[in-house]
Amino acid sequence: MSQLTLVTRDGRHVLPVELNQTVVALAKKNKVVWGHACQRGVCAQCRTLVVEGAEYLNEVTNEEKLRLRKAERAEGYRLGCQIQIVREGDVQLAHRPY
Ligand code: FES
């Protein structure tokens, strides 16, 4: 079974993968604190570094293209309210707000 590992200031949280839900929604559901406000790709409080498993995620959204610099996206930064796991596989994400 694939695992989603969320790394926060509290430590590591290992959850079962659930497809087609945002990382902010999954964190909330599993009571993991993952800062967020707008859930529309505007505030960037949910800024996330994709550590492992980018190939199992949805394509970068237009909201992420507008909000994050190209260099940040190249380093693997995305927005937790936009990321969804779309295929089974191990994914590790770290919460990295500004
Ligand atoms: S919650 Fe505001 S950009 Fe993700």
The domain segmentation of the chain, as residue ranges, is 3-95
User: Using one digit for the tens of pLDDT, what is the confidence trace for 47-95?
Assistant: 999 999 999 999 999 999 999 999 999 999 999 999 999 999 999 999 9
For residue 42, which atom of ligand 1 is closest to its CA? Answer: 3
pLDDT of residue 1: 84
pLDDT at residue 80 in the model: 98
Q: What is the pLDDT of residues 14-60, one digit of tens each?
A: 999 999 999 999 999 999 999 999 999 999 999 999 999 999 999 99
pTM of the model: 0.96
Pocket mutation for ligand 1, best pick of 22, 23, 26, 45 (most atoms within 8 Å of C-beta): 45
The residue type of 13 is: H
Q: Which fold has domain 3-95?
A: Ubiquitin-like (UB roll) (3.10.20)
What are the strands, taking DSSP E only, across 17-70? Answer: 47-52
How far does residue 47's CA lie from ligand 1's centre (Å)?
Answer: 7
For residues 94 and 70, give the distance between their C-alpha atoms in angstroms, rounded to a whole number. 19
Residues with beta carbon inside 6 Å of ligand 1?
36-39, 41-46, 79-81
The candidate with the shortest Cα–Cα distance to 79, out of 69, 16, 13, is: 69
Ligand 1 centroid vs 45 CA: distance in angstroms? 5
User: 32-60: b or e for each residue (b if 16 or more CB lie within 10 Å)?
Assistant: bebbbeebebebbbbbbebeebeebbeeb
DSSP state of 19: T
